């Protein structure tokens, strides 16, 4: 996952309309913290930098370097799990 | 005997397995038509299923698994998928692929199908004496590139057993070439099988042990490309696995005629009666149906399980296995080393890889 990657949810993966849960084939992933918010931003247009910028606006005072590292880490993990693609 | 820690009696089901039909196009040629018609006649209507899906979603169910028979045998399959989605469920479908065309698939995806699972009994040209299997196999292979054109998750399910487990690496490589999103490696389930079939199909301990690093290596290698999930049989362990999340704890199965079952093979256990979604609300069945209540919680457990801290993890193991092997559905699952019948399992741990022909018995 790079800053200019455009991540999106893999086919057959979607956010539960109300709960902090990602519905995936044969199962669910419970989403913690701002994960749901981050996944909601993956519209196939925004790249990782755009997502980070949006988050920094929402969470005023958050450390940009930290947010960037966390977002990249999270998306990497979800990509390894097969639920996010670039 | 006091329990060390009571198991919560009622939880929310997560999955609804909808066996929408027992009809299967593969057997059409051999089935007499009247029988077919009769069977089809007992099937729940579109409207029944719509109601069931709605009730399931209300109860908190997230996943709907459309299965059969062959779900494609139902002409209202697109409506069933749409009904599942309208109710708010995630819609999975398990198919043999026989009867699928690009047009039909397009309709199913348009109706809201999200995940399709295709099972392969083998990934090799099967021998000529398995003609029916070979035909289905070719159909499945031809279907894969069509599937890839649609936006839906696609799982290949490899069914492994004694006769093919040694070729697992080869299987995985072939499945990989088909580029599924997920690859499931599932052992044949023996609950419905007689012991003689079990000795034919059940892999040896050595085979299972050899297969574990192969699966682990595939998981690592395919990370980010194909999600690999493998379920190993518990025969060789000292403790049983949890019955699919515990009896009456996570899933409900509705058969084509509307009977609600807590487990796909629950009917083998004597004295079971199943309530029907035609007569009852799904929530009532979940809470009060005797079949769901039967092995819920820990009241039914043997003193050994009752005082064992693992009961919250394995719920005393598989009821069907316990019944099949000991004749007592309340018995400790014989897979458990604390079971007085654990030796029965040792007898099944055949280390000689010679395969016994089924007719030799
Ligand atoms: S009782 Fe046994 S066969 Fe039935 S669902 Fe549980 S583990 Fe499976
Ligand atoms: S005694 Fe019962 S609860 Fe304990 S591990 Fe064995 S089967 Fe599970």
- pLDDT tens string B247-271: 999 999 999 999 999 988 888 899 9
Residues of A in contact with B181 (CB under 8 A): 10-12, 25, 82
d(CA B256, CA B22): 7
In order of their start, the domains of chain A are 8-81 (1.10.10.1150)
Nearest to A10 among B90, B155, B181 (CB): B181
Number of CB pairs, chain A paired with chain B, less than 8 A apart: 52
Of B321 and B257, more confident:
B257
pLDDT tens across B159-206, in order? 888 878 888 998 899 889 889 999 999 877 665 444 555 666 778 888
Q: What average pLDDT does chain B have?
A: 83
pLDDT of residue B85 exceeding 50, the answer is yes
Tokens 């693609």, residue located: A85
Backbone angles phi, psi at B131, to 5 degrees: -55, -45
Measured distance CA(B71)–CA(B18) in Å, rounded: 9
Show the ligand 1 pocket: residues with CB < 6 angstroms: B 191, 243-244, 263, 265, 318-321
Q: What is the pLDDT of residues B50-65, one digit of tens each?
A: 999 999 999 999 999 9
Check CB contact under 8 Å for A17 and B115.
no
Mean pLDDT of B132-143: 71
CA distances from B31 to B26, B73, B338 (A): 10, 14, 46
Chain B residues with CB under 8 Å of A10 CB are 153, 181
Mean pLDDT of chain A: 93
Residue B354: the pLDDT is 44
For the CA of B7, the nearest ligand: 2
Write down the pLDDT at residue B32. 31
Q: What are the two backbone dihedrals, phi and then psi, of residue B253, each rounded to the nearest 5 degrees?
A: -115, 130
ipTM for this prediction: 0.90
At B117 the pLDDT is 94
Nearest chain A residue (CA) to B60: A19
B226 CB neighbours in chain A (<8 A) are: 82
Band of residue B243 on the pLDDT scale cut at 50, 70, 90: confident
Alpha-carbon span B88 to A70, nearest angstrom: 31
CA distance A56 to A60: 6
* pLDDT score of A6 more than 90: yes
From ligand 2's centre to the CA of A27, what distance in Å?
26
Q: CB-CB: which of A17, A21, A80 is closest to B223?
A: A80
**Do residues B118 and B75 lie in contact, with contact meaning Cβ atoms separated by under 8 Å?**
no
pLDDT in tens, B15-69: 999 999 988 765 433 333 344 555 778 999 999 999 999 999 999 999 999 998 8
The DSSP element (H or E) to which B76 belongs, if any, is none
Closest approach of B255 to chain A, Cα-based (Å): 19
For residues A33-46, give the mean pLDDT.
94
Token output for B32: 């007499």
Question: Is residue B219 within 8 angstroms of chain A, CB to CB?
Answer: no
Residues of A in contact with B245 (CB under 8 A): none
CA-based angle A56:A60:A65, to the nearest 5? Answer: 45
C-alpha A83/C-alpha A10 separation (Å) is 5
Go through A66-85 and write b for each residue having 16 or more CB atoms within 10 A of its CB, e for each that does not.
ebbebbbebbeebbebbbbb
Inter-chain CB proximity B62 and A24 less than 8 Å:
no
C-alpha count within 13 angstroms, C-beta hemisphere, residue B58:
11
pLDDT of B193? 44
Does residue A33 sit at the B interface (CB-CB below 8 Å)? no
Q: How far does the CA of residue A57 sit from the closest CA of chain B (Å)?
A: 30
Query: Going edge to edge, which strands form the sheet with B15-19?
Result: B227-231, B182-187, B153-160, B115-120, B90-95, B63-67, B15-19, B251-254, B260-261
Residue B80 CA to residue B49 CA, distance in Å, equals: 7
- Please state, in angstroms and rounded to a whole number, the distance separating the CA atoms of residues B74 and B256: 11
Q: Residue B130: is its pLDDT beyond 70? A: no
Flag whether pLDDT at B242 surpasses 60.
yes
User: How far apart (Å, rounded) are the C-alpha atoms in residues B341 and A51?
Assistant: 58
Which ligand is the nearest neighbour of the Cα of B291?
1
> What ligand has the least distance to the C-alpha of B309?
2
pTM of the predicted structure, to 2 decimals: 0.88
Q: Nearest 10 degrees: CA dihedral of B321, B327, B330, B331? A: -70
The mean pLDDT of A71-75, rounded to a whole number, is: 95
């Amino acid at each position: 996952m790079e800053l200019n990657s455009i991540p999106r949810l893999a086919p057959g993966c979607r956010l539960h309309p109300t709960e902090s849960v990602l519905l995936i084939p044969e199962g669910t992933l419970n989403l913690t913290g701002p994960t749901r918010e981050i996944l909601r931003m993956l519209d196939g247009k925004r790249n990782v930098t755009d997502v980070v910028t949006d988050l920094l606006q929402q969470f005023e005072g958050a450390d940009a370097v930290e947010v960037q590292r966390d977002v990249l880490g999270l998306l990497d993990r979800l990509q390894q799990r097969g639920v996010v693609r670039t | 005997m006091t329990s060390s820690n009571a198991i919560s009696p009622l939880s929310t089901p997560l999955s609804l397995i909808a066996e929408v039909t027992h009809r299967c196009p593969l057997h059409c040629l051999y089935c007499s038509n009247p029988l077919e018609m009769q069977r089809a006649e007992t099937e729940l209507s579109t409207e029944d299923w719509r109601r069931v899906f709605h009730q399931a979603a209300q109860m908190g169910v997230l996943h709907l698994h459309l299965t059969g028979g062959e779900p494609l045998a139902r002409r209202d399959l697109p409506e069933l998928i749409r009904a599942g989605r309208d109710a708010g469920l995630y819609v999975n479908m398990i198919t043999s692929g026989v009867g699928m065309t690009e047009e039909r698939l397009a309709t199913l995806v348009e109706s809201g199908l999200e995940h399709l699972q295709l099972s392969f009994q083998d990934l090799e040209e099967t021998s000529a004496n398995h003609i029916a299997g070979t035909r289905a196999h070719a159909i499945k292979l031809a279907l894969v590139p069509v599937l890839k054109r649609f936006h839906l998750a696609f799982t290949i399910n490899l069914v492994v057993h004694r006769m093919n487990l040694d070729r697992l690496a080869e299987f995985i490589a072939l499945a990989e070439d088909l580029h599924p999103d997920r690859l499931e490696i599932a052992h044949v389930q023996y609950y419905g099988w007689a012991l003689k079939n079990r000795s034919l199909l059940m892999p040896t301990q050595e085979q299972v042990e050899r297969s574990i690093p192969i699966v682990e290596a595939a998981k690592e290698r395919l990370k980010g490309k194909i999600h690999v999930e493998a379920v190993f049989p518990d025969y060789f362990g000292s403790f049983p696995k949890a019955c699919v999340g515990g009896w009456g704890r996570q899933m409900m199965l509705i058969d084509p005629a509307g009977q609600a079952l807590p487990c796909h093979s629950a009917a083998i256990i004597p004295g079971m009666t199943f309530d029907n979604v035609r007569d009852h609300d799904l929530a009532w069945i979940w809470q009060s149906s005797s079949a769901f209540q039967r092995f819920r919680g820990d009241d039914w457990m043997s003193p050994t399980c009752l005082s064992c801290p693992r009961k919250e993890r394995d719920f005393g193991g598989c009821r069907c296995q316990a019944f099949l092997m000991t004749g007592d559905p309340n018995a400790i699952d014989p897979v458990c080393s604390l079971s007085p019948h654990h030796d029965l399992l040792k007898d099944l741990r055949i280390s000689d890889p010679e395969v016994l022909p089924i007719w030799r018995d």
